[in-house]
């Protein structure tokens, strides 16, 4: 039931930076032969992930009332919400969470237990992260105010080949970088990847902390 829209590399097979992909948007869809439609998969995954509890349903209803109608486009949801969420969960959060349970998958008698824990953890992480990113998108809209004139690095990204320049197809325009928020959302997996590499290394010298996403910190879970 999980959907991975992990169309993030600039070229197939490269583990380079995460960037929009404008060709063959349906190429990585699961059950592609059944529903060869990005919009159908995006709506299905979005609703299925959020509506696992009452709070998710309530937040989903709030999101539908967003002031910016652009964030309700299924292609936008796929590219800028589902892609970062699924990538972060699959490449960073799940490996981090399941590292202490790897012994379970080595024994035939406990492989099912390992798989069950993996599925449950994936559902929890996808829901939690999607809810947070959705709240940010609803609050700020697709194009929040940002002074690109005072940020040359961000301006280069905006004006580069992944921006809207030369894009005429509606879906390509929707997937292109056109604001600080779109750049931030699609490069967020890089930040999580650095966090995972830091916490997965044998030596972890403390680095200078930051206000947001301090790489030294890790999630804390209640113990019952």
- In tens digits, the chain (224 residues) has pLDDT values of 333 344 433 344 444 445 555 555 555 555 555 666 778 878 888 988 998 888 999 999 999 999 999 999 988 998 899 989 988 998 899 988 888 888 888 888 888 888 888 888 899 999 999 999 999 999 999 999 999 989 988 888 888 888 888 888 888 888 889 999 999 998 898 888 888 888 888 777 777 767 677 787 877 766 54
Domain that holds residue 88: 38-96+125-199
The tally of domains found in the chain comes to 1
75 within domain boundaries: yes
210 within domain boundaries: no
64 within domain boundaries: yes
Alpha carbons 97 and 20: distance in angstroms, whole number = 28
pTM exceeds 0.85: no
Angle at 171 between CA 168 and CA 173, to 5 degrees: 50
Strand partners, 177: 163
């Amino acid at each position: 039931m999980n959907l991975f829209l992990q169309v993030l590399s600039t070229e197939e097979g490269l583990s380079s930076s995460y960037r929009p992909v404008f060709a063959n948007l349906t190429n990585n869809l699961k059950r592609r032969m059944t529903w060869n439609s990005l919009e159908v998969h995006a709506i299905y995954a979005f609703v299925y992930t959020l509506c696992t509890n009452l709070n998710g349903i309530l937040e989903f209803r709030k999101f539908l009332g967003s002031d910016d109608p652009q964030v309700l486009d299924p292609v936008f949801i796929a590219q800028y919400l589902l892609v970062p969420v699924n990538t972060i969960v699959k490449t960073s959060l799940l490996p981090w969470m399941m590292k202490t349970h790897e012994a379970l998958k080595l024994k035939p008698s406990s492989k099912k237990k390992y798989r069950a824990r993996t599925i449950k953890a994936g559902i929890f992480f996808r829901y939690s992260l999607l809810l947070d990113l959705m709240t940010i998108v609803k609050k700020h809209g697709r194009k929040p105010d940002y002074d690109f004139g005072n940020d040359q690095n961000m301006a280069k990204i905006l004006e580069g080949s992944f921006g809207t320049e030369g894009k005429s197809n509606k879906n390509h325009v929707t997937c292109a970088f056109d604001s600080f928020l779109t750049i931030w959302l699609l490069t967020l997996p890089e930040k999580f990847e650095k966090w995972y590499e830091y916490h997965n290394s044998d030596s972890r010298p403390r680095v200078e902390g930051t206000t947001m996403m301090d790489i030294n910190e890790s999630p804390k879970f209640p113990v019952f």
